[in-house]
Structure 1
Amino acid sequence: MKIAQITSFLETLAPLSFQEEYDNSGLIHGEPDREIESALISLDCTEAVVDEAIALGCGLIISHHPIVFKGLKKFNSRTYVERVVMRAIKNGIALYAIHTNFDNVLNGVNAKICEKLGLGHTSILSPKAALFRKIVTFCPLGHADQVRNALFSAGAGHIGAYSECSFNAEGTGTFKAGNEARPFVGEIGHQHHEEEVRIETVYPVHLENRVVSALLHAHPYEEVAYDLYPITNSFEVGSGMLGSLNEPADELSFLKLVKERLNCKVIRHTALRGKPVSKVAVCGGSGSFLLSKAVAAGADVFITADYKYHEFFDAEGKIVISDVGHFESEQFTQELLFEIITKKFPNFALRLTSIDTNPINYLI
């Protein structure tokens, strides 16, 4: 299949517009229209992973972490980043990353962590605002279904677990067609009154061109009236995740469960508070920036990675910080991507890397 078929599908689940400003998710190298027979999934894109892709005949590597974060000015094999990119180009292997955009969606990286830990009643810990807009348009009564369905098909009308959401109100529209007009209803030079429906629905910002285009195509009028409104509401997109245990657990038992379920060699944590664990906040990768959100949400434990020494003091006895390691917190992202892509493309040759890309070793 074509590379674009896979990447387009992934971007419907985790749109590139959901990634953080510093990130570099998306197709880093490769031609979207190129046909490939198989793809390799990994957490990181390293030289060993590229060699594995070559040996397996994979034309695409889908990794969580982008191999390129900043612009490369030279390609002389001095760094592992340059060597990976050069080797991939030389062997015709496309590189694709699905990073913080996959972190920030409801069924992404953090949801998988919650699943592994048995957490239920999950929600986004720090929802993002201004990712959605509202479109309002007006059309004749008899064409309302046609216009609504076109907007829904373009991706509008989704709110949480609900789809095809809209608000509709009937009223009277007026207009007078000029001499050069070709009106759908009414006569040139005469004011016309038409019974119309006001249709309102929301859509993700990244789909704006598609939604507007669908409206213009489905609407019967020569000149389509529509308004676009910014929305500051927070929807189910954002950083981290909050979940709860079926039954409260003592802190030490819960940390032992975390160590076992996430295959951790070691867990670094702040002092135990002697209180039962009910609510748990998680953030795959570097999540120290979410500590205040975890505390405000009433979490008893915050599971993340990459905590610095002085940052552990910020717990201040209000929460237990549990640093499980960056790789350990995100390792199941590979498994999640495999499940999602295989379900969509069951006949496509998809492989999970056999390479342990964790650069950190532990002396136990």
Structure 2
Amino acid sequence: MTIKDITDLVEEIAPLPYAEDFDNVGMLIGDPKQECSGVLVSLDTLENVVDEAIEQKCNLILSFHPIIFKGLKKITGKTYVERVVLKAIRNNIAIYAIHTALDNSFQGVNTRMCEVLGLENRKVLIPQKDTVKKLTTFVPAEHAEALRKALFDAGAGNIGNYSHCSFNVEGDGTFKGEEGSDPQFGKKGQLHTEREVQVGITFPRHLESAVLKTLFAHHPYEEVAYEVLTLENNNQHIGIGMTGELPEAMNASEFLQRVKTVFKTGCVRHSEFTGTPIKKVAVLGGSGAFGIKHAIAEGADAYVTGDLKYHDFFSAEGKILLADPGHYETEQFTKNLLVDHLRKKIPNFAIVLSVCNTNPVKYL
């Protein structure tokens, strides 16, 4: 099994095209074609994590955060980033980061936050824009069903909780094969009319290459007429943050105690109590101050995230309870999520959960 075989499995739940533009995801160090001896899954890639990979005989570190975030002009070992890069290269260890691709996955970071808090009826808090595309093509009527099936099998036709969705209009198509053509229908040099079906079908953005490859492979025409448009529809399963509901409402003190307990944190920084029972909760792993306005707009009673600054707490404005258990604390379950996914896919392969605590923040 190669390193790429492993990372392809990761991208099943977190396709890289949905990572944020500012991010640095994917293979950071190493050869994807190299045979993989084992995978160490960690939240961060620090020197002690590389040492752990060496000890566990893993030549791939699957890290949530990217150790290389900005361009490196020198690699001399002067900084902790440079030391990690040097040690990984010297020991032939590949490093792959998933970060905001997993943040934007419905099976990712925020789902685990909802799970530990016991939230039900989960929905994406901030849907990512431009993730739904539409293919329109024209196919001879007798070939329409086979083409639709092939496109469905390639992952097209999914809208929210529905699959096998398409729209079909029957009509007459005309064409004349000119010099150099080899028409499958009609004769070269003669105007031909063919009963056709216009097939319209949606698909998620990351599948565009696979969908078009399927179209060309299963369409009977020598020249395939088609167009691809980006739709305004929100994809219910792609976006950052999440909302959910507690089975029973709690008062603010009880809720904050639950946050402190399940996130195993030394303290929870929070805004002033609103006097409203906590029922609907919004979450966003990592640095989530930008999500406050979205949580309020969704009618959440509380918002759990990390890295809130002094003035961020003012923006609660008595409308919502803000709770900050810490950046690391809100993302700590990510490595368990990835380990669980890979062990289900390849149960007999060496998938190792890192035991290193990479949290740089300490509590007195």
TM class by shorter-chain length? over 0.9
1:110 aligns with 2:113: no
Indicate the larger mover: 63-72 or 250-259: 250-259
Match of 2:332 in 1: 331
Partner amino acid for 1:326? H
Match of 2:313 in 1: 312
Counterpart CA distance in 2 for 1:253 and 1:91 is 49
Question: What aligned pairs does 1:118-197 form with structure 2 within 5 A after superposition?
Answer: 118-197=118-197
Structure 1 residue 134, shift from structure 2 partner: 0.6
| 3-state SS, counterpart of residue 170 of structure 1 | strand
Counterpart CA distance in 1 for 2:160 and 2:34 is 35
- 8 Å CA contact 2:10, 2:338 repeated in 1: no
Partner amino acid for 1:247? E
Counterpart CA distance in 2 for 1:80 and 1:279 is 41
Counterpart CA distance in 1 for 2:293 and 2:270 is 17
Structure 1 residue 162, shift from structure 2 partner: 3.0
Partner amino acid for 1:3? I
Partner amino acid for 2:281? V
Question: What aligned pairs does 1:56-95 form with structure 2 within 5 A after superposition?
Answer: 56-95=56-95
Counterpart CA distance in 1 for 2:12 and 2:167 is 25
Match of 1:202 in 2: 202
Counterpart CA distance in 2 for 1:70 and 1:154 is 35
Number of equivalenced pairs: 363
RMSD value, Cα: 1.2
Partner amino acid for 1:324? P
1:345 aligns with 2:359: no
Partner amino acid for 1:285? G
- 8 Å CA contact 2:305, 2:327 repeated in 1: yes
Structure 1 residue 248, shift from structure 2 partner: 1.1
| 3-state SS, counterpart of residue 34 of structure 2 | coil
Structure 1 residue 152, shift from structure 2 partner: 2.5
Structure 1, unpaired ranges of 5+: none
Counterpart CA distance in 1 for 2:361 and 2:208 is 43
Partner amino acid for 2:108? G
Match of 1:14 in 2: 14
Match of 2:227 in 1: 227
| 3-state SS, counterpart of residue 335 of structure 1 | helix
* 1:248-299 deviation line (CA, Å, top 9, x unaligned): 1111111111111111211000111121111100000000001000000000
Counterpart CA distance in 2 for 1:99 and 1:165 is 31
Partner amino acid for 2:17? S
Counterpart CA distance in 2 for 1:230 and 1:62 is 32
Structure 1 residue 179, shift from structure 2 partner: 4.2
Match of 2:287 in 1: 286
* 1:168-225 deviation line (CA, Å, top 9, x unaligned): 2222212222243221111233322212111111123333222212211110011111
Counterpart CA distance in 1 for 2:57 and 2:85 is 17
Structure 2, unpaired ranges of 5+: none
Counterpart CA distance in 2 for 1:336 and 1:82 is 28
| 3-state SS, counterpart of residue 28 of structure 1 | strand
Indicate the larger mover: 307-316 or 158-167: 158-167
Counterpart CA distance in 1 for 2:69 and 2:19 is 13
Structure 1 residue 361, shift from structure 2 partner: 0.8
Counterpart CA distance in 2 for 1:83 and 1:158 is 45
Q: Normalized against structure 1, the TM-score is what?
A: 0.97
Counterpart CA distance in 2 for 1:93 and 1:162 is 42
Structure 1 residue 106, shift from structure 2 partner: 1.0
Structure 1 residue 316, shift from structure 2 partner: 0.9
Percent identity over paired residues? 50
| 3-state SS, counterpart of residue 286 of structure 2 | strand
